[in-house]
């Protein structure tokens, strides 16, 4: 009976992951994708709040890009997190997940406790989004009560983070390709206009 229950649970988890993969990979629009990610994470894990942080490699800071259930003030305070100085951004340096059942009992997160108490969360899990070349950011889930993360939740977060990383890389590639194509279209349009003007006049000065 126990094995049967575990098999059913595993089947439900796989079905959830398949659904999440289909949803996340359905959009190449970056802003839309970020919105889908935080909503899907919120639904799948059953957390009280969810967020996705994106690494700004030019400035070397981690920025909260999209969130669900978090206050506007918290989002504003999470726009320039230094991975070296701020424990909330440490996950992008370590490249390993940070899983905390109760932040009040973790001395390494003492700097987060006042902000957490104000926001109302107690437990959290940060999962790095490890891309091909560097860490793209992190997924974070928050709980308003102490929460023990079981193996199935950890596996779901790991798999979902991998799917999100791939989706983000695809969206960024599409965005860069789209911009490059737009620039090329502008260039061709300019060349066409120049060609029309050159063939429309016999005045040498105008041609020059």
Tens of pLDDT along 50-92? 999 988 888 888 888 889 888 888 888 888 888 877 777 788 8
pLDDT digits (tens, 9 = 90+) for 26-53: 556 777 888 888 888 877 788 899 999 9
What are the residues whose beta carbons fall under 8 Å from the beta carbon of 82, sequence distance 6 or more? 60, 61, 62, 89
Sheet holding 123-130, edge to edge: 61-68, 49-56, 135-143, 123-130, 98-100
């Amino acid at each position: 009976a126990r094995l049967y229950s575990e098999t059913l649970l595993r089947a439900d988890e796989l079905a959830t992951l398949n659904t999440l993969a289909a949803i996340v990979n359905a959009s190449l629009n970056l802003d839309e994708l970020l919105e889908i990610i935080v909503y899907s994470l919120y639904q799948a894990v059953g957390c009280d709040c969810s967020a996705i942080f994106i690494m700004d490699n030019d400035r070397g800071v981690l920025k909260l890009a999209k969130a669900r259930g978090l206050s506007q003030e918290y989002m504003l305070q999470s726009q320039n997190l230094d991975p070296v100085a701020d424990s909330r951004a440490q996950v992008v340096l370590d490249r390993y997940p940070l899983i905390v059942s109760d932040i009040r009992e973790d001395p390494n997160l003492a700097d987060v406790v006042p902000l957490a108490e104000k926001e109302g969360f107690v437990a959290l899990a940060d999962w790095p989004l490890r891309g091909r070349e560097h860490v793209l950011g992190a997924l974070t889930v928050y709980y308003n009560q102490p929460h023990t993360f079981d193996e199935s939740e950890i596996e779901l977060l790991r798999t979902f983070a991998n799917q999100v990383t791939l989706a983000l890389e695809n969206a960024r590639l599409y965005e860069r390709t789209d911009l490059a194509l737009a620039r090329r279209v502008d260039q061709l349009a300019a060349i066409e206009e120049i060609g029309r003007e050159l063939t429309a006049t016999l005045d040498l000065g105008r041609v020059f």
